[in-house]
Amino acid sequence: MNLLHAILLGIVEGITEFLPVSSTGHLNIVEKLLGYQIDSPGMTAFTAVIQVGAIIAAIVFFWKDIVAIVVAWCRGIVHADKRDDPNYRMGWAVILGSIPVAVVGLAFKNAIETTTRSLWVIVGALLVWSIVMAIADRRDHGERTMVDVTWKDGLIIGLFQALAPVFPGISRSGATISAGLFRGMDRVSATKLSFFLGIPALVAAGGMEAISQAGAISAQVGWLPTAVATVVSLVVAYVSIAWLLRFVSKNSFTGFIVYRIILAAVIIVLIMMGVVAA
């Protein structure tokens, strides 16, 4: 991979990772257009590894919140009288919410890296989940915020998150935000919880691919382009996070839903015209 392609893919990852539009779907489409074989071990690993850059951006952005959660959880484990702290409950929500995606990721690893990376799967997931997002976004949302999150919220939202790696196009953030809205959370809180749940899941996925597919990355992509794309995704994702939190505080997700439908239509046209192979 040349460095210009690496920079472009890093930008795509940084912009789309936390938006409910499917970062994996976008990366697969752009990689296809650039002429790469998206289901090769090297490209599959590259896609997972550069997501770590976006997750590092989330860790930096929410560093104080993360430290508060970790400290409160540790205190609550040791001292029963500290378990009323909302950050203690948030710690359990993140831990339990991370289990489903880990189980699904390991159980369906082969399908995730091959079969479900078809552009037709992405099209179907974009369209079907747009309907789910529209329903969730139009519900009468309660006033639940981050201080109201329980372990049950984390587990249920985590189950939704587990759908994303199996069906690229659903969008991990789209799945978790929708689940948060269904649980009666406001848009900002549902979005922030999506960030927290994504940190352990994507760091684990990227780390595992970096270790298990190190040879494939070296031979098929190159570690320099991978490192460049990861750094670019970090910088762009940081800006994307700040923008998204401001946006959802004042707007619905309608614009993202419309975009998803348009993107699905564009992919269908590209496939039918033979510009890209499904």
Question: Which residue in 46, 11, 24 sits closest to 198, CA to CA?
Answer: 24
Can you give the pLDDT at residue 259? 92
Q: What is the pLDDT of residue 205?
A: 75
Task: Check residue 112 and give its pLDDT.
Answer: 65
pLDDT in tens, the chain (278 residues): 899 999 999 999 999 988 888 888 888 888 888 888 877 888 888 888 888 899 899 999 999 999 999 999 999 998 888 888 899 999 999 999 988 888 887 777 676 666 677 788 889 999 999 999 999 888 766 678 888 888 899 999 999 988 888 888 888 888 999 999 998 888 888 888 888 988 887 787 777 777 777 788 888 888 999 999 999 999 999 999 999 999 988 888 899 999 999 999 988 998 888 877 76
Cβ atoms 241, 18 nearer than 8 A: yes
| Contact criterion met (CB below 8 Å) for 45 and 217 | yes
Taking CA atoms, 277 is separated from 88, 150, 204, 262, in Å, by 48, 44, 30, 19
Can you give the pLDDT at residue 79? 87
- Alpha helices by DSSP H, the chain: 3-16, 23-33, 41-61, 63-78, 86-107, 109-113, 119-137, 151-161, 163-166, 172-182, 187-212, 214-220, 223-248, 254-272
In eight-state DSSP terms, residue 145 is: -
Rg (CA), the chain: 18
Q: Which two tokens stand for residue 277?
A: 């192979």
Contact in structure between 149 and 184 (CB atoms under 8 Å): no
**For the chain, which residues make up each domain, given as ranges?**
3-272
Tell me how crowded residue 84 is: count the other CB atoms within 10 A of its CB.
Answer: 9
pLDDT of residue 198: 84
pLDDT at 73: 93
What is residue 64's predicted lDDT score, i.e. its pLDDT? 93
The whole-model pTM stands at 0.85
pLDDT of amino acid 4: 94
Cα separation of 21 and 14, whole Å?
A: 12
Nearest residue to 55 via CA among 21, 18, 92: 18
pLDDT value, residue 93 = 92
